[in-house]
Chain A
Amino acid sequence: MNTEFPIPHEAVIVQRIEESPDIFTWRLRFTDPAVHAAYRFMPGQFNMLYLHGVGEVPISIVSDPEDDRLYDHTIRMVGRVTRAMAQLQSGDHIGVRGAYGNPWPVEQARGKDVIIATGGLGCAPVVSVINYVLRRREQYGRLVIMQGVRHSADLIWRDRYEQWARLPDTQVLLTADQSGPGWPFRTGLITRLIDEADIDAGNSVVMMCGPEGMMRAVIDDLIGRGVPEARLWLSMERNMQCGIGHCGHCQIGGQFVCKDGPVFAYPQVKELLGVKGF
């Protein structure tokens, strides 16, 4: 992370991709070539994206750290800033500062099976690590991707999941709490997928994001199957305004999600995970 006190750098939207009626991806590049060349991040980290006169939002980076041409953010229109951001087009300029936070444990996971469990629309933070593992396939064991959505219509990137499912040593399991027509996958909660997943409890690292209740359920199930607590990793979300542990909004007990997370080992957040009000 840059340790100088952060102000944004200008970046240009090289490409805008419409993922769904309310989700879009920006492919970005810093306009100053020196800034772009010096910029580093790891899967799981986030940037603060700034829209002129409107404000900043923390958004995780979905692209691969070794793609030095562009970096990508997938954004859902949900609040004041992201709704305004949705109006921008390719060629428009924004401000970016980062990268912030702790990344996914790609080192700890090396040589082991990687189990991904995500729920709801919170899949963007894990897409980065899925891509990271697939690009370095020989360094990792099996890849198991479990994704739950509330309604089958909520699933974005269906073609990507289908593509991943065809890869060797890769298992993709999808479920929807409620499914509509044309949904060939499972119906029900994500924990139902764990029975189908081929999990080697002693040789896996688990990476999760999504609703805390869902992560809690997956954690309880996996601990029951013998996965050690320190091999369970979660990406957490809270209000984040400064990104550097000063403003106080993102606290969960003693942890600042922006600088101690957003990726936590389960023991770090175990005490307050899913406790209403924290």
Chain B
Amino acid sequence: MNLDDQLHSAAADVRSGLSSVSPPPFEPPAPAGSRLTLLALVALIVGGGWWLVRPSNDDAPMVDAVTDTIVETVPAPGPEPEPDPDADVPALLTPPDQRSVGITGFDDLPTSPMDQPQLDAYAIEPDTGVAIRRFISGTPGSVVQPVFSQTQTFNADGSLVLLYQTRGSAESTAGHIIVDAGTGEMVAAPDLSAASDIEDVSWDSTNPDRLYFTSGPDLVSYDVSTGDTDVAIRTGCEAIGFGEMSGTTTSGTSLMGLLCRPVSGPTSWAVANTETGSIQIGGSATVDAAPQPMISGTGYVVVDDTGVLVLDSDLSVVRTIAIEASSHTVAQDADGSDVLVATVYGGPSSEGIIVVADLTTGAIRVVVGPDTGAPYPPRGSQLSTAATERPDLIAVNTFSDQAGPLTNEIMLLELNGDESQLRRLAHHRSVENRDDGWSATSTVAISPDGSRMLFSSNWASDTIATYEIALP
């Protein structure tokens, strides 16, 4: 059979497979007003009850940052507070030494009402005591958020943040934007439309002004300070990309894993060295995913939906790990061992929101999952890239239209072997609706030093903004 016949036959088979499918009833999205009305009613009912039992400001679940003591948030009955005489002063502006590190445990933590935090003041998350502020938001109905949890958001020194917006403004068009990590002010609106995927963008591991994306056969660099776009590495492949992996460099290295699709022959794994401008071509790629450097720089890991492959520095497979990783990220345990952290929904290993695979030994352990008393992972669980200077820290979010323990929360994973801990920082209050599509699932990012986290939320509206959690 020739190629044309093969393709036509394959198309016919799909038509046959779908022939009995009839469209389900279309469910138009509820107008934002209706949703808000419903949410307002819910908030009124729940909030009324909460108001009666809420703690006073003095009783808020603040944590002593020096001792790092975690205080469980237990709403206690309290007297009606006196009206704030200094109404002009943001009462919830939180000095850094009063920030909470959240709570631990896997108990159900119902979501209390909370107004959308403002741009110029921290608000206290009533369920966890964590300080949150709105970092950036766009026009009503727009989306401004980290590109994807597994795409680097912060640059090498944490001074810039890469975001994606769906609507333009006076300063920029829809697409990627780079903003000041402190103020949220626009720094640049690079045209990265040539990137093979909006998520296939990666910051340089050392130069804070440089990011990379793949375009056809080239690894292209963009310089934030000059606005210049240049070919960083001309690979000689017909096309390069990341496949099913997000493009990431790794802290302390200038290595970036790629898939090289040659003019002829099978696709190969490859590694670009952005410091030397060279590319290393390895053996045939057995799965459609690029290798990602381990934190230690001693090897690579390839993840697809069938399992995890560990490669040595020559890009040869040295180990397979039977784990079906959904959202995942390379990280390093407190003892310096290279690990893959993943959310696992099924397969040969145990399930969990946080499952850790040791890339050196192949050992798998569940940190947060049914085996450790936690629930089955909510379907919208996402892990961020590890903090580049603290690769034991990972931001985590969960998302579902079903309420439950560890659901719809923003959390911080701190790897430390058997003492690893998941700190529950906030409910993201992002509500699934058809207007937002998957964007409403919330994306998370953590700064290089692990002192700040970003997460996106529609806050039960039709506008998705990005919020900041300041950690002690």
A, B co-complexed: no
Measured CB to CB, the residues of B under 8 A from A are none
Q: Which residues of A contact B (CB under 8 A)?
A: none
